Amino acid sequence: AGYKGRFNTHDKNYDANNAAHIFQYNENINALYGAVTFALTEKLRTKVGLRYEQVLAKILSTTEIQTEKDNNYNTPYPSAHLAYVFSPYSNLKLAYSTRVNRPELKMLDPSPQNQFSSLVDTVGNPDLKPEFIDVFEVTYALTQDKYKTDLSLYHHNIKDVIQWDVIDVDMITYNNLGE
């Protein structure tokens, strides 16, 4: 069990195309988490966990006009693992967990940037949401004299996928485009 806090502040002021641009991003993440591991039987073990996050994020940007955006959200991230131990050297594990992938700063900054070439501008999207990921996994592990072999199958289901979105031939942005 525990608490983790992450507090980020980014302040960027620059001139582009004879105009001043300001991009300020403040993100405060407060997380409470806990996990419990126990044996159901001699061969069957489990671990369950929960992380709960409160995210308070604010973007202030000035390009041609000043905009202020809040992106606050509270999200639980459960996890569950089940392991069957065939022997001290062999086991089968089933797992489910949830994760988050937050957008990078350049993805949020609405000021035009020449990332790829001088012919194409990339414009960030201050309305961009994080990706939320459900992960399902099955793993078989075998330990031998000098080697350990893991064979895994997994499936990721991503909600609010962040992808490039073409505005026109010389401008690209980022958007949440489904699953």
pTM of the model: 0.82
- Residue 107's φ and ψ, nearest 5 degrees, are -75, -20
For residue 17, pLDDT over 80 is answered with no
Q: Are 32 and 118 in contact (CB under 8 A)?
A: no
What's the pLDDT at 145?
87
Q: pLDDT tens, 46-81?
A: 999 999 999 999 999 887 777 888 989 999 999 999
Give the bridge partners for 131, in sequence order. 101
